[in-house]
Structures are given as C-alpha cells and as structure tokens.
Amino acid sequence: MTHNLIPFIGVTGGIGSGKSMICRIFSCLGIPIFEADKEAKIILNENEIVKKSIKELLGNQAYKENEVYNPTWVRAKIKEDPRLIAAINSIVHPAVRQKAIEWQLSQKNKPFLIYESALLHSENKPELINKLIVIKADKADRIKRINMRDSLHPTDIKTIMEVQPSEETYLKQVDYIIKNSNNDLIWPQVEKIYKSITGLT
C-alpha cells in the first residue's frame, strides 16, 4: 500500500448488527465512510461488464425487464446452491475495491477512513484494510431490527443470515469488537476505538 494513503478501517457484522448506526457515530467524529455494500448495489445496476457476467452466471432473470438487479430472485438461486455467493462475490468485489481505492485517493486530512461491508472478515479482507472492527449482536435483536427496518419475509432474513459469515468467522483475528445488543451502550465503545486508532489514549 502506498504510504501516503489514509488508512482504511473495516467495519463489519451480520445483517441487523448495527453497522449503519456505528458508522453514523464515526461520521459524527469526522470520519468519512465508504459503504461497500451500497456501492455493490450501484455496480450491479450500472456496471455493464458486471451485469453481463452476472447474467452469464445466473441467467437473464437476475435482472428485471427494466434491467434492475433482482435480489429476491438471486437469493432464491443462492438458497438452491450456496456456492453461487462466492461466484457472485468474485464478480462484484473487484469492482467495489477499485471504487474504494479511487475514493480513498480522493480523501484528505483525515486520521482514518471507514470501509463498511457485511461480508468482510479476517480471511477475505483486502490489503487496503488496515484494521478490522466487528459488531456483535444477539440474533434476536438483529432480527427485531431487520423487521423494523425492512419489509423482508422471514424466509429471506433466514437466507441472508445463512449465506453471511458465521459469528465465529466474523470474530476470528479482529482488532476491535463492538457489542451492540439491546442494552449495550455503543457511543463509548466507538469513541474508545477512535481514540485507540488515532493515538489519543
């Protein structure tokens, strides 16, 4: 990695763990956020090379008639064959990481940057990630948050959780853990990590 690049700190955790809330706190502390999962959705809909590769992998039904990505149909395919998730990631992730590098190069005068992604863990993190923060939350709390936020069918929630990394995988060789179950106070945890990374402690 080029030495003058501002370091990337990964923030990860399963669906409903509270990644967006944690990132909002970092943002309040002046840290820019690269939302990898949102960038992936844009790429899936706008990058013609990626779209072509996805169609070749899954078929034209991966996109609706208006050429918008069809996540419900794709989730059903993944449920039939979980190996597809790795193949999809191999198509999308390189494009996301290229966007991340371009964004990283554009940032100035910040102590660090946040790279938010639900699928990130120690075994697959790209070289651009310097340290890794994992958000840990009870499954029941996660499901409750998902139900409040999204209009997903319980089967879809179950499918998403099944294809995401296990808690054991998330927690392996991480630098920081934020506990975000029902009664956990998250701001002090984020502030402590911020001070640790910036050398203020």
CA atoms within a 13 Å half-sphere pointing along the CA-CB vector of 56: 8
- Do 142 and 17 touch, CB atoms closer than 8 A? yes
**pTM summary value:** 0.88
> Tens place of pLDDT for every residue, the chain, 201 residues?
445 789 999 999 999 999 999 999 999 999 999 999 999 999 999 999 999 999 999 999 999 999 999 998 998 899 889 889 889 999 999 999 999 999 999 999 999 999 999 889 888 888 899 999 999 999 989 988 988 888 788 888 888 888 888 888 899 989 999 999 988 999 999 999 999 999 865
Domains of the chain in start order, with CATH, are 8-198 (3.40.50.300)
User: Who contacts 164 (Cβ-Cβ below 8 Å, separation ≥6)?
Assistant: 14, 15, 118, 119
Residue position matching structure tokens 């989730």? 75
